[in-house]
Amino acid sequence: MGSRVNKYRRICILGGTGFVGQHILNRLTNTDFKIRVISRHRERHRELLLFPEVELVTADIHDPQVLKENFSDQDVVINLVGILNQSGKKQATFKAVHVDLTRHIIQACQMKGVKRLLHMSALNADSAKGPSQYLRTKGEAENLVHNAKNINVTSFQPSVIFGLEDDFFNRFARLLKIPPTFIPFPLACADAKFSPVFVDDVAAAFTVAVQNEATFGQRYALCGPESYTLKALVEYTAKLGGIKRSIYGLGDSLSKLQAILLGFVPGQPFSKDNYLSMKIDSVCDTPFPALFNITPASVESIVPSYIGQQSLQARFDDYRRTARR
Ligand SMILES: NC(=O)c1ccc[n+]([C@@H]2O[C@H](COP(=O)([O-])OP(=O)(O)OC[C@H]3O[C@@H](n4cnc5c(N)ncnc54)[C@H](OP(=O)(O)O)[C@@H]3O)[C@@H](O)[C@H]2O)c1
């Protein structure tokens, strides 16, 4: 559906080494595109060098000059860079990663004549009404890209994304095993709702959108077919993982307290900002956008292939079999 532009050949991806990025790369490498991925740590992603179409560059994307140099011969930019929690480092704050970086990307695209930008946002991103800094800065960035002159922009707002290497089901599978497992697992924001969307469906939407004029100027909310409470999803993870542990949903005050305390734990498994993001349900009002011609995969059709399986190889084989494409 929609008209194809067929004139784009070279794509620069920021955040292409991440969870979603690798799935987008998998899809784009089966096409005619030449792809440049910019990473802070090229040496950690040497597997990407196996793709002949992929050029992996180490550079500091927060330096506007780096963006200009790397965009000068490109047709399309895809920005997937995002963080769920900020650290004290200058280039790891929500403002630096979501807003300032996006502004620099827009300026570099405009200076170097890049006419096509695909931007990753998040469901409920809203610069004014977002309850958390994550959602407000994601909203600010989304507004910046959609107000940018001379660039055809498409943005995507997914709910939580699942797949083999996800940081949602895998994280809960790990957390549930932390002793003492005979006590109920204390779950913050247990009633918050999500419509988890499969990473390969998100990747497919990006790759279809690249050349499709009908997607120019559009913001797409991306959700899976079903909504669940967080408690239901964690109970399902425990069941798949064979973990016999009950889940105790914390009330609002204890959820907030847990968020504040875990915010001090290295790696911030949960933070006050995450707690605030969950004040709004992460569910869509509309089905998966018809233009992409995708029937979104359900949690039940994919997650059992990678949670609770014995070996990594078994998980991989099963996952490859289960994922429909
Ligand atoms: N995963 C989800 O459930 C979900 C849901 C909604 C929206 N999103 C959005 O989707 C996008 C991709 O998510 P993901 O799960 O694929 O994330 P991810 O695995 O963490 O990958 C993000 C990539 O961004 C780069 N990056 C991270 N922090 C950075 C920083 N401070 N400065 C510069 N680069 C940085 C990293 O690349 P290098 O280390 O190679 O530099 C990383 O590979 C993000 O914008 C995220 O907010 C994700």
Cα(319) to centroid(ligand 1), Å: 22
**By residue range, what is the domain housing residue 99?**
10-161+196-224+284-297
Q: Is 11:36 a contact under the CB 8 Å cutoff?
A: yes
CA of 245 to the centre of ligand 1 (A): 31
- The tokens for 182 are 């005979």
What is the sign of the dihedral through the CA atoms of 201, 17, 126 and 154?
negative
Could you tell me the CATH number of the domain that includes residue 140?
3.40.50.720
CA distance 62 to 287: 36
Q: At 25, which amino acid appears?
A: L
pLDDT at 267: 86
Q: What is the pLDDT of residues 160-181, one digit of tens each?
A: 999 999 999 999 999 999 999 9
Interval 219-255: pLDDT, tens: 999 999 999 999 999 999 999 999 999 999 999 999 9
CA–CA distances in Å: residue 177 to residues 51, 240, 243, 253, 316: 37, 13, 7, 25, 22
Spatial contact of 247 and 238, defined as CB atoms under 8 Å apart = yes
pLDDT digits (tens, 9 = 90+) for 249-272: 999 999 999 999 999 998 889 999
* Alpha carbon of 231 to ligand 1 centroid (Å): 25
Q: Residue 308: what pLDDT?
A: 87
Give 180-221 pLDDT, tens digit per residue: 999 999 999 999 999 999 999 999 999 999 999 999 999 999
What is the pLDDT averaged over residues 7-12?
93
Ligand 1 atom with the shortest distance to the CA of 96: 31
pLDDT digits (tens, 9 = 90+) for 51-107: 999 999 999 999 999 999 999 999 999 999 999 999 878 899 999 999 999 999 999
> Is residue 61 a part of any domain in this protein?
yes
Residue 98: inside a domain: yes
Look up tokens 């349900």; give the residue: 281
Ligand 1 pocket by Cβ (under 6 Å): 15, 17-21, 39-41, 61, 80-83, 91-92, 97, 120, 122, 158, 160-161
Q: Where are the alpha helices (DSSP H) in 180-281?
A: 199-210, 230-240, 252-262, 272-277
Judge whether 277 lies within some domain. no
Is the model's pLDDT at 324 over the cut of 80? Answer: no
Which of 40, 42, 206 most suits a substitution to test ligand 1, by most atoms within 8 Å of the C-beta?
Answer: 40
Q: Is the pLDDT of residue 325 over 60?
A: no
Nearest residue by C-alpha to atom 19 in ligand 1: 18
Q: Which residues pair with 75 in a beta bridge?
A: none
Q: What average pLDDT does the segment 289-300 reach?
A: 98
**Is pLDDT at 296 greater than 70 in this prediction?**
yes
CA angle 285, 131, 117 (to 5 degrees): 65
Residue 259 lies in a domain: no
Look at the chain and report how many structural domains it folds into: 1
- Per-residue confidence (pLDDT) for residue 87, from 0 to 100: 87
Domain contains 132? yes
pLDDT for 221 equals: 98
Q: Is 41 left (phi over 0), alpha (psi -120 to 50) or beta?
A: beta
The pLDDT of residue 9: 93
